[in-house]
Amino acid sequence: MKSEHQQLLQTYFGYDSFRSGQEDIIESVLAGYHTAGIMPTGGGKSICYQIPALIFSGITLVISPLISLMKDQVDALHQNGISATFLNSSLSANEAAERLVEMKAGMYKLVYIAPERLELTHFLHQLSELDISFVAIDEAHCISQWGHDFRPSYLKIKTLLQEIPSNPVVLALTATATPVVKEDICRTLDIDLDHQFSTGFARSNLTFSVMKDENRAQFLMRYLEKNHSESGIIYASTRKDVDRISQKLANTGIKAGRYHAGMNEEERTRQQDAFLKDDITVMVATSAFGMGIDKSNVRFVLHYQTPKNMESYYQEAGRAGRDGLDSECILLYSPQDLHIQRFFIDQSQGTDEWKHQELQKLNQMKDYCFTEGCLQAFILRYFGEENPDDCGRCGNCKDNRAEMDVTTESQMVLSCMIRMGERFGKTIISQVLTGSKVKKIEEFGFQKLSTYGILSAKSAKHVADFIDYLTAQQFIEITGGQYPVLKVSDTGKEVLLGKRKVMQKELKQVQTITNIDS
């Protein structure tokens, strides 16, 4: 015997069974509990509020920052025979007023609203005249100041809830929430631990890899040549890069579009639509692109530069493979990207606490680039999953180079740091270790240290990369802002005392572009 909500799933959406997490969330909401649902992109969050919306007697408000998606979502609901509408800045004042009248008349089961609407006091007052049973909050991580996408208007959700006399049930949904962000969402919205459901963040159809020491432009061209008929997104950090890369691709006959906040809205919409309709195969874009994009057949997401944190990275990379088919997420790492990001953070108007937090996130992003462990597992741990399994698919899991014991080399680096007083950054530490003659070393008298030149057989670049590796392995801690200072961590001290071994994969042969074809 099917439950009422199983029948609705079949009748309105044509699906036979619920996906993981959906039923728990729906049951919790229907039992009247404020609920949180954390599901990966493509996991099926919409059904979690659309089915309760059909059962509740009053209106369901859906708060979503994805304005460009609202019309499509409403159209899709209409096609399934469900009455719905939206209120956002694309409507004139008259149209918005008309929709409110229709809402009062009970014409809609679901109403999508943009968070900015909540800034309008008269709108909030009007809500008290409506019969609202349920409020679903999409992209709920925007409510947290610790999230990467904080939207001040999301804080108005509290006011919204106070204005609605009927005490509606609240459902917070997101695909990206670190433990801190999840806690923040649940505290703000009074969601008990018993009503927080997470299906995990793993995306079993995505293959992650990080490319270091590559000529990015060459890598990109070869990659696109090999995947020429596939739809993909290339993320670049600056508008200038987007213009430059898209122009270059267009010159070589690739159907490439571009998208960044410096373009006018009409042009952006035109480019986005062309990508959605597959008139453009590759979209080159800044992070401004993607929030409202529901394109199922994106086969690859390639980051031309390193993003500022893991949340942004996973959200952007996660736009690949929404249809569940195998897709690739590739990050092209270069140390300059991190210098630029660090500079931006340092020069920003944020508080010291904010800057400190952003720098830490950036350091974790770097650790992702330098880890030799499973990349998917790294991501899952970042989002709070304990002991995730290795994916077996990512660039690191597939990397079958032999492991070497690098404990002695690690001890040399760590003891050099201690002898230098743990007050310096990676560059000068590697210079001391490789016996460089730069003036600064003499100024500090570091040429007299026993560790001076102890790794002179290696290049400073090799030693600097090795320091990054030791940092990703948590043997070194980073403090400081634009000029990071490295310190030996507690586990690093265990290495120094010989209580812990350090292993590293054999050095790669200098990667040539032909490796990509193999």
Of 203 and 308, the one with the shorter C-beta distance to ligand ADP is: 203
* Residue 256, beta-bridge partner list: 282
Single out the segment in contact with ligand ADP by CB under 6 A; choices: 41-49, 280-288, 333-341, 484-492. Answer: 41-49
Of 142 and 433, the one with the shorter C-beta distance to ligand ADP is: 142
Cα distance between residue 186 and residue 197, in whole Å: 11
Asked whether position 290 contacts ligand ADP by CB under 6 A, the answer is no
DSSP letter at 12 equals: I
Answer yes or no: are the C-beta atoms of 49 and 173 closer than 8 Å: yes
Instruction: Please report how close the Cβ of residue 233 comes to ligand ADP at its closest, in angstroms.
Output: 16
Single out the segment in contact with ligand ADP by CB under 6 A; choices: 35-43, 211-219, 242-250, 277-285. Answer: 35-43
Cα distance between residue 283 and residue 303, in whole Å: 12
Single out the segment in contact with ligand ADP by CB under 6 A; choices: 39-47, 144-152, 254-262, 502-510. Answer: 39-47
Instruction: Please report how close the Cβ of residue 42 comes to ligand ADP at its closest, in angstroms.
Output: 5
Answer yes or no: are the C-beta atoms of 38 and 174 closer than 8 Å: yes
Looking at 8, 23, 25, 43, which residue binds ligand ADP (CB under 6 A)? Answer: 43
Of 321 and 492, the one with the shorter C-beta distance to ligand ADP is: 321
Asked whether position 42 contacts ligand ADP by CB under 6 A, the answer is yes
Answer yes or no: are the C-beta atoms of 492 and 486 closer than 8 Å: no
Instruction: Please report how close the Cβ of residue 16 comes to ligand ADP at its closest, in angstroms.
Output: 7
Instruction: Please report how close the Cβ of residue 46 comes to ligand ADP at its closest, in angstroms.
Output: 3
Instruction: Tell me the site size for ligand ADP, rule CB under 6 A.
Output: 12
Asked whether position 47 contacts ligand ADP by CB under 6 A, the answer is yes
Site for ligand ADP in 5-34 (CB under 6 A): 15, 18-19, 22
Instruction: Please report how close the Cβ of residue 77 comes to ligand ADP at its closest, in angstroms.
Output: 11
* Residue 488, beta-bridge partner list: 476
Cα distance between residue 383 and residue 182, in whole Å: 10
Instruction: Please report how close the Cβ of residue 415 comes to ligand ADP at its closest, in angstroms.
Output: 49
DSSP letter at 481 equals: S
The two beta strands, 196-198 and 59-63, are unpaired
Q: Which of 122, 167, 115, 164 is nearest to 143 (CA)?
A: 115
Q: What's the CA angle centered on 486, arms 405 and 414, to 5 degrees? A: 35
Q: What's the CA angle centered on 381, arms 375 and 384, to 5 degrees? A: 150
Q: Look at residue 269 and give its three-state secondary structure.
A: helix
Asked whether position 69 contacts ligand ADP by CB under 6 A, the answer is no
Instruction: Please report how close the Cβ of residue 41 comes to ligand ADP at its closest, in angstroms.
Output: 4
Instruction: Please report how close the Cβ of residue 69 comes to ligand ADP at its closest, in angstroms.
Output: 9
Looking at 25, 30, 36, 41, which residue binds ligand ADP (CB under 6 A)? Answer: 41
Assigned token pair, 413: 């680096």
241 backbone dihedrals φ, ψ, rounded to 5°: -60, -40
Instruction: Please report how close the Cβ of residue 14 comes to ligand ADP at its closest, in angstroms.
Output: 9
- The closest residue (CB) to ligand ADP is 44
Q: Look at residue 357 and give its three-state secondary structure.
A: helix
269 Cβ contact partners less than 8 Å away, ≥ 6 residues apart: 68
The two beta strands, 84-87 and 110-113, are parallel
Answer yes or no: are the C-beta atoms of 63 and 138 closer than 8 Å: yes
Asked whether position 35 contacts ligand ADP by CB under 6 A, the answer is no
DSSP letter at 85 equals: E
Of 134 and 223, the one with the shorter C-beta distance to ligand ADP is: 134
Looking at 21, 44, 65, 290, which residue binds ligand ADP (CB under 6 A)? Answer: 44
Of 46 and 306, the one with the shorter C-beta distance to ligand ADP is: 46
Q: What's the CA angle centered on 116, arms 110 and 122, to 5 degrees? A: 80
Instruction: Please report how close the Cβ of residue 39 comes to ligand ADP at its closest, in angstroms.
Output: 5
Q: Which of 203, 175, 210, 396 is nearest to 303 (CA)?
A: 210
Asked whether position 343 contacts ligand ADP by CB under 6 A, the answer is no
Of 53 and 164, the one with the shorter C-beta distance to ligand ADP is: 53
The two beta strands, 403-405 and 503-505, are antiparallel
Looking at 25, 26, 30, 39, which residue binds ligand ADP (CB under 6 A)? Answer: 39
Instruction: Please report how close the Cβ of residue 146 comes to ligand ADP at its closest, in angstroms.
Output: 22
Of 147 and 492, the one with the shorter C-beta distance to ligand ADP is: 147
Asked whether position 45 contacts ligand ADP by CB under 6 A, the answer is yes
User: Using CB atoms within 10 A of its CB, is residue 19 exposed (0-12), middle (13-18) or buried (19+)?
Assistant: middle
Cα distance between residue 97 and residue 99, in whole Å: 5
Asked whether position 199 contacts ligand ADP by CB under 6 A, the answer is no
Q: Which residues bind ligand ADP (CB under 6 A)?
A: 15, 18-19, 22, 39, 41-47
